[in-house]
Amino acid sequence: MSDPANQFDEPWKEALDVYFRQFVELLFPRVAAGIDWDREVEPLDKELPKIVPEAETGPGVVDKLVRVEAAGGGAETVFVHVEVQSQADSDLARRMYRYNHRLEERYGSMPVSVAVLGDNRPAWRPTEHAAGRWGCEVRFAFPVAKLLDWRGREEELEALPNPFASFVVAHLAALATDADPAARLARKLAVVKRLYSRGLTRTDIRQLFRLIDWVITLPPLLDVVFNHDIDAFEKEKQMPRISPLEQRWLDKAESIGEERGRLEGRQEAARRLLKLRFDQPGLDLMPRVEKVTDPAALEALLDAITTAPDLAALDALLPA
């Protein structure tokens, strides 16, 4: 149904950007315990291709390089290299060694290299690279997190306060339902709805909604069913201001805006939000919405659509 190389790369890149600490704490607790999280954590992703040109790998591989400070009261800088591999690759262990060696040459100290195995093959678990001849040998071992090890423990994951756990659950759901669109819809609905009862902040709910929506893709018709179900669920929960589903429409409309121009994109966002909040009576206001062409006024109108208590309050704000 889906290509893991395309399905997982971009959401994993964003997830590591937003939730790097939570990612390390969940999947590599020993590494997390060695980091002083009160000091700066600096992403060096743009530096990685300069140091290791082959780090600009093809689909299915996500690399991240971060500079942290070691815990313990000193001033020791440590470089952490993360590789996420969404499909089995016989060259992974050698590549981990090569990257680690190049980074050590560049920074003068051995970095900590870790790998996330997000594939669907339980037996594939590379943890070291070894080579040698005639008594000259090298052995390089690295920590590995096999996401399939969490399969069957999704409830345990979702009971954790760590928000990154929901992203791991989504990844597992995508793997498990790759050939079953109906089951994928059911799993996606369950994962998303669980966000609202986990005690997460609204910011985390919106961010995780976006990541889950990205990683568990649906065919167009089932995507319509998903929208309808989540819309009803959010109304039942009485979500204030912009709900995660409304934000989804805004994000999609923003991409439309890049192609058609900001004005048309924002008008499309207004149309979708009116449909989402007020159904056909909301859409009946679109001819008046289209009269608003000033960018600042249109931005204010979008905010009003998401916050107006009822259609009458919105009607009063529109041109005659």
Contacts of 170 (CB under 8 A, 6+ apart): 188, 191, 211, 212, 215, 216
The band of 249, judged by pLDDT with boundaries at 50, 70 and 90, is: low
Give the end-to-end CA distance of the chain in Å, rounded to a whole number: 49
Who has greater pLDDT, 28 or 250? 28
Quick: pLDDT tens for 118-167: 999 999 999 999 999 999 999 999 999 999 999 999 999 999 999 999 99
Who has greater pLDDT, 189 or 256? 189
Quick: pLDDT tens for 63-76: 899 999 999 877 79
The answer on pLDDT for 292 being more than 90 is no
The pLDDT assigned to 4 comes to 46
**The overall pTM is greater than 0.95:** no
- Computed over every residue of the chain, the mean pLDDT equals 85
The pLDDT assigned to 203 comes to 83
The answer on pLDDT for 228 being more than 90 is no
The pLDDT assigned to 5 comes to 44
The band of 317, judged by pLDDT with boundaries at 50, 70 and 90, is: confident
Q: What's the distance, CA 188 to chain centroid?
A: 14
The answer on pLDDT for 303 being more than 90 is no
The pLDDT assigned to 298 comes to 76
The band of 259, judged by pLDDT with boundaries at 50, 70 and 90, is: very low
Lowest-confidence pick of 150-154, 174-178, 246-250, 287-291: 246-250
Lowest-confidence pick of 34-48, 66-80, 248-262: 248-262
Quick: pLDDT tens for 92-115: 999 999 999 999 999 999 999 999
The residues spanned by each domain of the chain are 4-149, 151-239, 245-315
